[in-house]
Amino acid sequence: MRLNLDHIGQIALGVADVDRAERFFGETLGLRRLYRHGDLVFFDCAGVRLMLERSDDAQAIARASPIYLRCADIAFAVAELGRRGVVFSDPPHRIARMDDHDLWMAFFADPDGHVLALMHEAPKGYAPS
């Protein structure tokens, strides 16, 4: 048997208020909720589970790694999430010019201050409108 660890099964984030986080990730971001068990709520992110769990440790909440959400059109996604109340720290901007595409990102935070980003692997020459 070959060891195969090339797929992430689940990512966990500690949150101060599970109900508030559930609304933000489910209603505001539009992630599909899988289920809730007490102070744990699970969402589907294209086959990777996102688990939000209640935490009383504010420092642990603040240390979470950013989560990058892939989107098909960053200008559309920023506009739509803005209508839903998401505040971006800066407008979409090109992060890197790759050989076959340009990488664009726009950063924002959830109600607990976790850094989140939209990422768009755009065709060369893409300019958000």
On average, the pLDDT of the chain sits at 93
Per-residue confidence (pLDDT) for residue 24, from 0 to 100: 98
Model confidence at 4: pLDDT above 80: no
Residues 22-46 pLDDT 10s: 999 999 999 999 999 999 999 999 9
CA distance to 6, 81, 82, 87, 113, per residue, from 21 (Å): 28, 16, 17, 16, 11
Domain ranges of the chain: 1-63, 65-129
Q: What is the mean pLDDT of residues 3-22?
A: 92
Q: Would 1-63 and 65-129 be classified into the same CATH topology?
A: yes
- The answer to whether 117 and 69 have CB atoms below 8 angstroms apart is yes
Domain at 65-129, CATH class? alpha beta
Q: Indicate the pTM of the whole model.
A: 0.87
pLDDT band at 67 (very low <50, low <70, confident <90, very high): very high
Which SS3 state, helix, strand or coil, does residue 36 take?
A: strand
Residues 92-121 pLDDT 10s: 999 999 999 999 999 999 999 999 999 999
How far, in Å, CA of 31 to CA of 8, rounded?
17
Q: Report which of residues 28 and 6 the model is more confident about.
A: 28
Per-residue confidence (pLDDT) for residue 96, from 0 to 100: 93
CATH superfamily of 1-63: 2,3-Dihydroxybiphenyl 1,2-Dioxygenase, domain 1 (3.10.180.10)
